[in-house]
């Protein structure tokens, strides 16, 4: 092969666009597999004289406008709410949370406290997002997603008393190691393991489960101490292992596997001061490009480009532009008037949304002082099934603890145990009860709850679009195509649904699509 890699990539790019080039780069081992941005490298005057309406000022919309401006386009972002960020929304002192059903909550937490009501974590594999944080000067700190000192609780385990996560994790491992070791000893896996592998696996399992003599699990230091280590003649004692039957009946697998989801693996970050530091940094950079309080009501392809109608102070206004990137949630898109093709409309209507909630409380940091819990998540088998401790301002006096982060409705529309609770008061009480279960006596220390119910947030009305369901593939594919001069963008049009990184990749793809269209028009005109 006589052509250089660079020349080869240029040919690929000419022939198939940025996405093809990226794939080729991956194939050559030049692009890391952790990111799949198709953002083209465009000259600063590439889009000169072309106007683009970006509908929605969430991360996808903000990134779209930010990148289009870099390439010389004239973007304008129409955001329905009075703030940027969409689901990237942090509650803090002064935040008003209004639901579509009229419920209003005003946050009055102490200065400096916040709850990231939407996204709250940035895994280190989300490189595009990390890149924007660096570019925009958003300071990051470690988000502690896992701490072995957090609790797990199930009524059928340990008499219902919470146990430290380290005990559940390591007792479970111990039993698994013992059982597999026994199966090997009984020669029941000889047909699938060589003698050497059996020997090595047995040795590995001894370490994996911290097994005692005879490859029996009898407890481990990894689970912590019933009698603590000290100086002098103190002899520490491990905890008596939890019962395997109880562990299995409790089924704490959600908590046990949580840290290993690819997007929840250490190392993770959060912006110092709240996740919304990211959209605010974009918004600051974009300045007047972003128009707030401007809900879009109609998007039409026209013979010359697009016409977008939106409300502003009660009046309806229209903008004509060359292109549109529609970065609204699927839940809102479906109700926007348009002259989209039937296939586009059908897709927009078909995609169901999840309905996540969170409840945050201000409280003194009893979890740090009394239980050595610094960040991380405790898991319970209760209507509110997790308690998430703050990673910010550790060792300070008080903090925001999130008691409850899960679905209110199942994909089939049935309410969850939490969602079935009749009133906001009952939900708040269930949240408090989860903390009380884990930290007896401290339920009463929780103050000033803020409850976010994403299905009821105006202009959002849902948490994540379920585009990864196998039956959604056709709709996902459809909306990943432009309809006339309109591109669609959002985390839900990527394979990282529910994450800002997905929104960014989707925005990049929309920008790439527009760039290709501009290039194609140029070729046609020439």
164-223 binders of a second copy (CB under 8 A): 166, 169-170, 172, 176, 179-180, 182-183, 186, 188-189, 192-194, 196-197, 200-201, 203-205, 207-208, 221-222
Closest to 445 in 3D by CA, of 363, 359, 339:
363
Instruction: Tell whether residue 440 is a contact of a second copy (CB under 8 A).
Output: no
- Residue closer to a second copy by CB (options 7, 234) is 234
Contact 107, 448 (CB under 8 A): yes
Restricted to residues 366-405, the positions that interact with a second copy (CB under 8 A) are 370, 372-376, 391, 394-395
Q: Which of 16, 25, 69, 127 binds a second copy (CB under 8 A)?
A: 127
> How are strands ordered across the β-sheet holding 377-380?
163-164, 151-153, 377-380, 386-388, 398-407, 356-364, 447-453
Gap between the Cα atoms of 270 and 122, Å rounded:
6
- Residue closer to a second copy by CB (options 208, 292) is 208
Q: Which of 77, 107, 144, 347 binds a second copy (CB under 8 A)?
A: 144
**3-state class of 223 per DSSP?**
helix
- Residue closer to a second copy by CB (options 13, 430) is 13
Q: Which of 232, 342, 413, 441 binds a second copy (CB under 8 A)?
A: 232
Here the tokens at position 315 are 């009046």
Here the tokens at position 356 are 């996540």
Query: How far is residue 236 CA from its own chain's centroid?
Result: 41
H-helix or E-strand containing 117?
none
User: 137: how many CB neighbours lie within 10 A of its CB?
Assistant: 10
Gap between the Cα atoms of 458 and 311, Å rounded:
15
Closest to 132 in 3D by CA, of 47, 226, 67, 79:
67
Instruction: Tell whether residue 160 is a contact of a second copy (CB under 8 A).
Output: no
Restricted to residues 504-523, the positions that interact with a second copy (CB under 8 A) are 505-506, 508-509
Q: Which of 1, 104, 195, 231 binds a second copy (CB under 8 A)?
A: 231
Instruction: Map residues 461-490 to x or -, x wherever contact with a second copy holds by CB under 8 A.
Output: ----------------x--x--------x-
Q: Which of 20, 142, 343, 433 binds a second copy (CB under 8 A)?
A: 142
**Smallest distance from the beta carbon of 374 to a second copy, in angstroms?**
4
Distances, alpha carbon 50 to alpha carbons 45, 210, 303, 518, in Å: 10, 65, 15, 9
Instruction: Tell whether residue 33 is a contact of a second copy (CB under 8 A).
Output: yes
Q: Strand 337-338 and strand 296-301: pairing? A: parallel
Restricted to residues 265-304, the positions that interact with a second copy (CB under 8 A) are 265-267, 269
- Residue closer to a second copy by CB (options 62, 91) is 62
Residue 492 has what DSSP assignment?
A: G
Query: CB under 8 A: which stretch of 40-48, 94-102, 322-330, 499-507 binds a second copy?
Result: 499-507
């Amino acid at each position: 092969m006589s052509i250089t890699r660079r020349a080869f990539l240029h040919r690929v790019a000419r022939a198939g666009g940025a996405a093809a080039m990226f794939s080729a780069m991956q194939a050559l081992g030049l692009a890391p597999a952790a990111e799949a941005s198709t953002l083209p490298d465009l000259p600063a005057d590439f889009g000169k004289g072309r106007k683009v309406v970006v509908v929605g000022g969430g991360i996808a919309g903000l990134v779209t406008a930010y990148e289009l401006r870099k390439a010389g386009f004239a973007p304008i972002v129409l955001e329905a709410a009075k703030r940027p960020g969409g689901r990237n929304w942090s509650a803090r002192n002064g935040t008003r949370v209004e639901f579509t059903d009229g419920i209003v909550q005003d946050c009055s937490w102490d200065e400096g406290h916040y709850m990231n009501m939407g996204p709250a974590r940035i895994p280190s594999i989300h490189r595009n997002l990390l890149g924007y944080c660096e570019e925009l000067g958003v300071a990051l700190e470690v988000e502690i997603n896992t701490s072995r000192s957090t609790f797990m609780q199930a009524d059928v385990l340990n008499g219902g008393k919470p146990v430290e996560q380290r005990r559940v994790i390591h007792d479970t491992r111990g039993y698994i190691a013992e059982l597999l070791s026994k199966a090997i000893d009984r020669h029941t896996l000889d047909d699938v393991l060589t003698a050497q592998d059996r020997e090595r696996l047995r040795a590995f399992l001894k370490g994996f489960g911290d097994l005692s003599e005879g490859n029996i699990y009898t407890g481990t230091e990894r689970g912590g101490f019933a009698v603590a280590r000290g100086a002098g003649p103190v002899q520490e004692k491990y905890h008596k292992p939890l019962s395997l039957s109880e562990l299995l009946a409790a089924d704490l697998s959600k908590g046990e596997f949580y840290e290993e989801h690819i997007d929840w693996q250490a190392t993770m970050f959060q912006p110092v001061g709240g996740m919304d530091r990211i959209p605010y940094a974009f918004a600051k950079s974009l300045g007047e490009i972003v128009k707030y309080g401007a809900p879009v009501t109609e998007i039409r392809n026209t013979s010359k480009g697009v016409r977008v109608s939106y409300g502003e102070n009660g009046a309806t206004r229209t903008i004509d532009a060359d292109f549109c990137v529609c970065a609204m949630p699927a839940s809102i898109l479906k109700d926007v008037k348009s002259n989209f093709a039937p296939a586009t409309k059908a897709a927009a209507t078909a995609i169901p949304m999840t309905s996540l909630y969170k409840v945050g409380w201000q409280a003194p940091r009893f979890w740090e002082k009394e239980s050595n819990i610094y960040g991380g998540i405790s898991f319970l088998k209760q209507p509110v099934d997790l308690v998430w401790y703050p990673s910010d301002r550790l060792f300070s006096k008080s903090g925001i603890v999130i008691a409850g982060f899960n679905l209110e409705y199942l994909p089939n529309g049935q309410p969850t145990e939490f969602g079935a609770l009749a009133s906001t008061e009952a939900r708040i009480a269930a949240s408090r009860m989860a903390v009380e279960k884990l930290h007896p006596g401290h339920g009463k220390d929780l103050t000033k709850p803020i409850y976010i119910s994403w299905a009821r947030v105006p202009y959002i009305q849902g948490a994540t679009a379920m585009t990864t369901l196998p039956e959604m593939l056709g709709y996902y594919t459809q909306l990943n195509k432009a309809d006339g001069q309109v591109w669609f963008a959002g985390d839900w049009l990527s394979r990282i649904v529910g994450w800002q990184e997905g929104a960014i990749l989707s925005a990049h793809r929309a920008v790439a699509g527009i760039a290709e269209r501009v290039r194609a028009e140029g070729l046609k005109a020439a």
